[in-house]
A and B are shown apart, each in its own frame.
Chain A
């Protein structure tokens, strides 16, 4: 049997969108739209199943050419198989159906890692190439390496890493050298965006003066989970506020980080607190306390209702501002969708990762 070609896959896609025989108009009342290429590689069958569900959801909001590469089930034929499916949703004009497609490539060990060339052939030209790596970091995987070179951006999720400290340190230390032309993005960074926005708004206008007086930050997270989000948030604060890390490089997330700011020292405590739901690596509250003539306490904390957050500030013990905002849990497809909207390099993320690199020990370093 001759090997599968990209043209055969494209032909299957063309057949998929062809009007049924008998329909002389040739118009299915739909429009195929592609705003991006998104390639996903799943390391195992379960991860592939989860990724497929996420891509299905994403395709119903964000039209693109989706390609999922996943391993076949144990015992299945290892040779390459392909499946195509169409996804449509009603556009925001509420008239036309907007449609795009998902190509699933399934192959066994020994084949799957080397499918990068075949994947390149399926990418649509003149559109950004996004590469989502949903699992644990594996930068030596040939597919990861070659796809990272070919992509505009690589998406990982640091909260899903089995060794987040080592992986973050490695990425901070070597990504730019390994892939100077490809942007590294982290879904975890998109996930904490709303925390950043809520914290930032507490310091708008006249409250901005308190930023330089921050002395203590407490980030509460669920006991028994890895504080990757809280740690990333701490690195963001340090980078944005010009704090320098004072302390030895570490191979674990410490409970306390000490920084120096141009105005004194700052302590960031990562504080585990008991939670009912241990499944999620949650930030529960962030509290920033200032010194200076007037003491300020700026808090963003989850309410009893987890879909809401209370943001408030107190100056000299007096409440000066308080508001409740909605805070729905974002699923991976929503995080990806949000991330895909913004194409430029996120300099703040780059700086935050750099800050993480000054704190965490690179597992590959000779020290």
Chain B
């Protein structure tokens, strides 16, 4: 981990949580939105309860809606009460004492000048020392406007303290727009000031991929083409498009899940050991993997990528509409709600090992996991006694039920030589008395500490777009290979996805 910005306060040494950031102001653009109330403020409150928020801390909500400080606080409090019904008055008062609201349009330069004055005033009164984090929790179409105005009003400058900008996905909608967004950001901020959030990276199990690989000596020697047959990375969702049809229609599953979450997980699974556990060393190695993804040939894309869209079906016995019947979706939409892609990573370590990625909506259950399937052992010794041996599989469950399972063969007790597959299980939920922290809690704290390890660098975002662009282009310019909808809601996606798994012992995992 990069050397965090610790305080030179010798009384902090040896405390259970000595990762205390410097005093700062957090400015949230889009403060009246859902993310602020559902994720950001509860995460801040958890940090507060754990004494991990700096003692001098301002939260300034910015949005177009005219609200008073009190109305803003009331909204946040009401939302927090839903998450934490035990919330007491004195605790809330103390937590929110430096919460403020600033109404203004994102295109209104004067509003940014006023924001600058407000921040100066809060620095003066609350000792926040000019340290500012600007969190863009807005639709992406206003990112550039906000970035420009932050630059023009001097808020991106680091004269007084640090200035950091946090950007929620999507980072563009294709390679060209990602480059454009990065360019815009770099005109105003330096790369070290930019924190691109992918909340998957804040999940405990995703971070544990690095610990599992590099803090144990038993995995790394077999973590390559000699022993690994293939890798499956799955992120399945039970939910349909819900209220996000507007966004989803223009993005689809590739933009929503692959460019960011799944390729980030792939890069952590496949990367070489970094020179140090530091932000740039780790991100350099991830970037190498993203750049090593074998480019897709436009002519053969259907052999490497399968798309799908759900039709009507049943979830937990209840009838649910198909994608095209969802509110806000065009009746003839060809937006994919499911994708499965076979990726080759052309490195010495992974040559010839396919990485199979799949994600979709309205699948039977919500689950995200990485499964490393090892090569089958030669069944010479038990030939005649035992039918086929199953390959060993190491499964890292990212959500829910975070943990690791190793599948291996064992003898069934008895007089005959019968072999059966059993699971050896590690579950975070049972091995550690305390639950895992919410991803946003970890990521907000890291941003305050200036630790960018779990954030995506601009070149990574571009490399990830570069990797999937041929598939995106092909799908946007060609009719689906099989008519949509091609899978029933509540099933594991189109059967045509099976063709990506050629080879003995290869089939999509049943999660």
The reply to whether A204 and B20 contact each other, CB–CB distance below 8 Å, is: yes
The CA of A79 and the CA of B431, in the complex, are separated in Å by 36
The reply to whether A311 and B55 contact each other, CB–CB distance below 8 Å, is: yes
The reply to whether B427 and A93 contact each other, CB–CB distance below 8 Å, is: yes
The reply to whether B433 and A321 contact each other, CB–CB distance below 8 Å, is: no
The reply to whether A324 and B93 contact each other, CB–CB distance below 8 Å, is: yes
The CA of A341 and the CA of B431, in the complex, are separated in Å by 12
The reply to whether A326 and B14 contact each other, CB–CB distance below 8 Å, is: no
The CA of A337 and the CA of B432, in the complex, are separated in Å by 11
Contact of B54 among A205, A320, A337 (CB under 8 A): A205
The CA of A297 and the CA of B410, in the complex, are separated in Å by 67
| Pairs across A and B, CB under 8 Å, 9 listed | A62-B433, A92-B432, A98-B430, A324-B90, A324-B93, A324-B94, A338-B16, A341-B16, A341-B434
Q: At the interface, yes or no: A63 with Cβ under 8 Å from chain B?
A: yes
Q: Which of B411-464 contact A (CB under 8 A)?
A: 425, 427-436
Q: At the interface, yes or no: A160 with Cβ under 8 Å from chain B?
A: no
Specify which chain A residues have a CB less than 8 angstroms from the CB of B7 in the assembled complex.
204-205, 208
The reply to whether B430 and A346 contact each other, CB–CB distance below 8 Å, is: no
The reply to whether B55 and A211 contact each other, CB–CB distance below 8 Å, is: no
Most chain A CB inside 10 Å of its own CB: which residue of B23, B427, B435: B427
Task: For the A-B complex with A204-B54, A241-B10, A325-B94 known, give 6 more contacts whose Cβ atoms are closer than 8 Å.
Answer: A31-B430, A92-B435, A98-B429, A196-B11, A199-B11, A323-B94
Q: Which of B1-48 contact A (CB under 8 A)?
A: 7-17, 20, 22-23
> Smallest CB-CB separation from B54: which chain A residue?
A204
Contact of A200 among B9, B22, B91, B402 (CB under 8 A): B9
Q: Which of A90-107 contact B (CB under 8 A)?
A: 91-96, 98
Shortest Cβ gap from A156 to chain B (Å): 19
> Smallest CB-CB separation from B23: which chain A residue?
A205
Shortest Cβ gap from A63 to chain B (Å): 7
Specify which chain B residues have a CB less than 8 angstroms from the CB of A56 in the assembled complex.
none
The reply to whether B10 and A347 contact each other, CB–CB distance below 8 Å, is: no
Give the interface size bracket for B toward A: 35 or more
Per-residue CB contact flags for chain A residues 315-353 toward chain B (1 = under 8 Å, else 0) read 000001101111000000000011001100011110000
Interface contacts (Cβ under 8 Å), in number, total: 126
Specify which chain B residues have a CB less than 8 angstroms from the CB of A197 in the assembled complex.
15-17, 51
> Smallest CB-CB separation from A209: which chain B residue?
B8
> Smallest CB-CB separation from B20: which chain A residue?
A204
The dominant DSSP class at the A interface is mixed
Q: At the interface, yes or no: B319 with Cβ under 8 Å from chain A?
A: no
Specify which chain B residues have a CB less than 8 angstroms from the CB of A94 in the assembled complex.
429
Shortest Cβ gap from B20 to chain A (Å): 6
Contact of A95 among B12, B51, B429 (CB under 8 A): B429
The reply to whether B430 and A205 contact each other, CB–CB distance below 8 Å, is: no
The CA of A347 and the CA of B10, in the complex, are separated in Å by 13
The CA of A63 and the CA of B431, in the complex, are separated in Å by 8
The reply to whether A205 and B22 contact each other, CB–CB distance below 8 Å, is: yes
Q: At the interface, yes or no: B400 with Cβ under 8 Å from chain A?
A: yes
The reply to whether B8 and A193 contact each other, CB–CB distance below 8 Å, is: no
Q: At the interface, yes or no: B401 with Cβ under 8 Å from chain A?
A: yes
Specify which chain B residues have a CB less than 8 angstroms from the CB of A323 in the assembled complex.
55, 94, 97
The reply to whether B11 and A200 contact each other, CB–CB distance below 8 Å, is: yes
Q: At the interface, yes or no: A182 with Cβ under 8 Å from chain B?
A: no
Q: At the interface, yes or no: A201 with Cβ under 8 Å from chain B?
A: yes
> Smallest CB-CB separation from A60: which chain B residue?
B433
Shortest Cβ gap from A315 to chain B (Å): 10
Specify which chain B residues have a CB less than 8 angstroms from the CB of A208 in the assembled complex.
7-9
Specify which chain B residues have a CB less than 8 angstroms from the CB of A206 in the assembled complex.
23, 127, 129
The reply to whether A63 and B430 contact each other, CB–CB distance below 8 Å, is: yes
The reply to whether A200 and B12 contact each other, CB–CB distance below 8 Å, is: yes
The reply to whether A92 and B55 contact each other, CB–CB distance below 8 Å, is: no
Per-residue CB contact flags for chain A residues 189-225 toward chain B (1 = under 8 Å, else 0) read 0000100111111111111100100000000000000
> Smallest CB-CB separation from B95: which chain A residue?
A323
Shortest Cβ gap from A248 to chain B (Å): 27
Q: At the interface, yes or no: B244 with Cβ under 8 Å from chain A?
A: no
Specify which chain B residues have a CB less than 8 angstroms from the CB of A211 in the assembled complex.
9-11
The reply to whether B434 and A201 contact each other, CB–CB distance below 8 Å, is: no
Shortest Cβ gap from B94 to chain A (Å): 4
Specify which chain B residues have a CB less than 8 angstroms from the CB of A204 in the assembled complex.
7, 9, 12, 20, 22-23, 54-56
Contact of A326 among B49, B55, B429 (CB under 8 A): B49
> Smallest CB-CB separation from A93: which chain B residue?
B429
Shortest Cβ gap from B413 to chain A (Å): 12
Specify which chain B residues have a CB less than 8 angstroms from the CB of A341 in the assembled complex.
16, 433-434
